[in-house]
């Protein structure tokens, strides 16, 4: 299946584009998504910093399974950082993916 990845802020700068299509196995989850993105664009890797993911413009949790045609946005921390970001990650039930090269 194919999903459309949206990138913003530092991710957009590191990869050099604001969106791209990604082919994934049917039924892929958030972890598989993260691995596929890193494989395709290794420049996006960073020190483990949990980030949020929005699918079709809604925040999702790590159980989410992707479907063909989904719009997937990587959402780097939006607040002024610090403890707030980490509370945010837990509060809005985001994925626990990290973008690192294995």
Partner 1 sequence: MIDITHEPLDPELITSRVLQNTNGAVITFLGTTRSVSGERKVLHLEYEAYRPMADNQLKKIAKEINERWAIQDIALSHRLGRIEIGEVSLVIALASPHRKSAFEACHYAVDRIKEIVPIWKKEFFEGGEVWIGSQEDLVARGTPEATHSG
Residues forming the site for partner 1 (CB under 8 A): 6, 8-10, 46-49, 54, 57-59, 73, 75-86, 88, 91-92, 98
Between 27 and 84, whose beta carbon lies closer to partner 1? 84
Between 20 and 59, whose beta carbon lies closer to partner 1? 59
Token pair belonging to 31: 């972890």
Between 37 and 75, whose beta carbon lies closer to partner 1? 75
Q: Which of 53, 40, 3, 44 is nearest to 23 (CA)?
A: 3
For the CB of residue 56, give the shortest distance to partner 1 in the complex, in Å: 9
Cα-based angle 41, 46, 25 (whole degrees, multiple of 5): 40
- For residues 6 and 18, is the Cβ–Cβ distance under 8 A? yes
The CA distance from 34 to 70, in Å, is 15
Q: What is the DSSP letter of 65?
A: B
For the CB of residue 2, give the shortest distance to partner 1 in the complex, in Å: 20
For the CB of residue 101, give the shortest distance to partner 1 in the complex, in Å: 13
Between 67 and 91, whose beta carbon lies closer to partner 1? 91
């Amino acid at each position: 299946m194919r999903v459309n990845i949206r990138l913003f802020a530092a991710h957009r700068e590191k990869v050099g584009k604001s969106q791209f299509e990604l082919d994934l196995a049917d039924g892929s989850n958030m972890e598989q998504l993260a691995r596929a993105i890193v494989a395709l664009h290794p420049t996006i890797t960073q020190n483990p910093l949990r980030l949020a993911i929005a699918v079709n413009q809604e925040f999702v949790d790590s159980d989410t399974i992707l479907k063909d045609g989904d719009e997937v946005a990587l959402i780097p921390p939006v607040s002024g950082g610090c403890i707030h970001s980490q509370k945010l990650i837990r509060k809005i039930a985001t994925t626990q993916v990290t973008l690192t090269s294995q």
